[in-house]
Each structure stands twice: as C-alpha cells, then as structure tokens.
Structure 1
Amino acid sequence: MTFMLAGGFFVKKVPIFISWIRYMSFNYHTYKLLLKVQYEPITPIINGIRIDSGWTEVAALIAMVFGYRLLAYLSLRRMKLQS
C-alpha cells in the first residue's frame, strides 16, 4: 500500500521525504509502461509524465524481480530455525 500511495498516481501531493519510494514500486513503472502502450501514438506527455522508450521501466522491473527475491532469500537464510 505504501508503494501505491507514494507512486503519486493515486495521491497527487506526495511529501518530499517519501517521494523517493516511487522508484522502488512496481506500480510506478508498470503504470508508465501502460501509458506508453496506450497513448504514445497520440501525445508524448500525459499529465506531466513524459513517455519515453520504456527501456528504463523494463530494466527497473527486471532489477526489482531479482533484487526483491535476493533480499527475501538473504532474510530467510538469516533466520534461525526454532526447535
């Protein structure tokens, strides 16, 4: 829920101290890709969001998939089994 709210698409006035969280959110990057697919032939800018080639969003999503799984793996390895 934090990622959805900090993405700035549902809440317009995101506080500065949490605005960096949007770049770690799946919602932010997938929404930008959706805008690219839907509206690229019509206009290059939608509500102040510039539609570019989309490769940065794809790379960010791939990095998130591997990065979040790696973090989950490391945190599970660190847990101690309770007997």
Structure 2
Amino acid sequence: MQWLKYMSFMYYGFRLLLKVQYSGDQLYECESEGGCRPLQTSPSFDTVNLKGGLSEVWVLLAMALCFRLLAYFCLRRRIDKRN
C-alpha cells in the first residue's frame, strides 16, 4: 500500500511547495546551546531533499498529460458505445 502515495499528485505537489518555500541552507534554532543548524537536518525535513525540484515538476507534468489522455480515451469510448 505504500506505493500508492507515488500515484498521487498531492505527494509531488507538496514536496515541490516545500522546496519552493524553504531552502536547505536556511538556519533554525539559533538560540539553542548547539548554535544554528541547517533546516535540512530538521526532523521535519528528513524525507525531503530541499535542493532541486525539477524531478517533481516533470512528474507533475507527466501526470497531468497522462490523466488528460486517460480521460479523453474514456470519454471517447463512452461516446462510441452510445452511437
């Protein structure tokens, strides 16, 4: 069931939004004893690499194209069955 998340446009869209909003070079917890740490080392971003983002864009474009083609062929088939 874990592979189903890769079929969702929300998965790639959210990852892309994170990359647009945040940079891996940003610092946080500067008031702590250990000093400033990069945002990429935060537990919140351990599964998302904040560099890049081009792969998510390509996947979203491919999904949009494939879903539109699938809808076109399904509608075409339905119209052909009625006639």
Root-mean-square deviation over aligned CA pairs: 1.7
Q: Which consecutive segments of 4 or more residues in structure 1 shift more than 4 A?
A: none
**Deviation of 1:48 (Å):** 2.7
- How many angstroms does 1:21 deviate by? 1.6
- Structure 1 unmatched ranges of 5 or more: 1-17
TM-score (normalised: structure 1): 0.67
Identity of aligned residues (%): 43
Please, which runs of 5 or more residues in structure 2 have no aligned partner?
Answer: 27-38
TM-score (norm. length: structure 2): 0.67
Q: Corresponding residue for 2:62?
A: 63
Q: Check conservation: 2:40, 2:49, Cα contact below 8 A.
A: yes
Question: Which fold has the larger relative contact order, with Cα–Cα distance below 8 Å and residues 6 or more apart in sequence?
Answer: 2
